[in-house]
Chains A and B, each alone.
Chain A
Amino acid sequence: GAGVSQTPSNKVTEKGKYVELRCDPISGHTALYWYRQSLGQGPEFLIYFQGTGAADDSGLPNDRFFAVRPEGSVSTLKIQRTERGDSAVYLCASSSGANVLTFGAGSRLTVL
């Protein structure tokens, strides 16, 4: 596609529920990244994929967070047992090689 596509754009869930956030990167981009942006803050790194594998997941806050990219294109960020503190905008970005990251519009997650 022309840009990084993220769905859903908004997700409201209840504490304790499971959520999945999807990212469709720019066609041909081998690298994919997830960042999280809390209100009034800059984005924070979560995880980086090169192809199908997670090359760096050091930013995932705990084991409730998991991400996959089974075919090296679309990625899904999965959050188990959601907590109110997980409320944020989850941004996905992709890049070609070591080039600049192109971000999507994000998925706004609200945990009630």
Chain B
Amino acid sequence: GESVGLHLPTLSVQEGDNSIINCAYSNSASDYFIWYKQESGKGPQFIIDIRSNMDKRQGQRVTVLLNKTVKHLSLQIAATQPGDSAVYFCAENGGGSNYKLTFGKGTLLTVNP
């Protein structure tokens, strides 16, 4: 069936480095994508989203890139900080409503001081 997956289950970086978290999606009907950050014991926290009519969107220290040709999504975090340590999920809407999201399994980002 259709699914959203992540290339790397874990990522360890040094404080101050840039981080790139990747996500592959297989549902070509998806037209809305979103990244969430989840810290231990907390609910997912919105980071940034992007619609399929865009290739790139920037936020504060974060950038999301969307490559529809290869069905690939990435999250770039600039100058990674210890507070960025968390599990990062990408999610897609499957071409339907934006509330009915399909989440990937997540990538654990560890930032070393």
Contact = CB atoms under 8 A, between A and B. Distances in A.
5 contacts: A4-B43, A31-B99, A98-B99, A103-B43, A103-B44
Contact of B106 (A42, A98, A100, A106): A42
Interface in B18-36: 34, 36
A101 interface: yes
A44 interface: yes
B104 A101 contact: no
A58 to B, nearest CB: 8
Interface residues of B, number: 22
A105 B43 contact: yes
Nearest to A44: B103
Interface of A: 4, 31, 33, 40-45, 48, 56, 58-59, 91, 93, 95, 98, 100-106
A45 B98 contact: no
In the A-B complex, the 4 residue pairs with the closest CB atoms:
A42-B103, A103-B43, A103-B44, A100-B46
Contacts of A105: 41-43
A4 B44 CA distance: 12
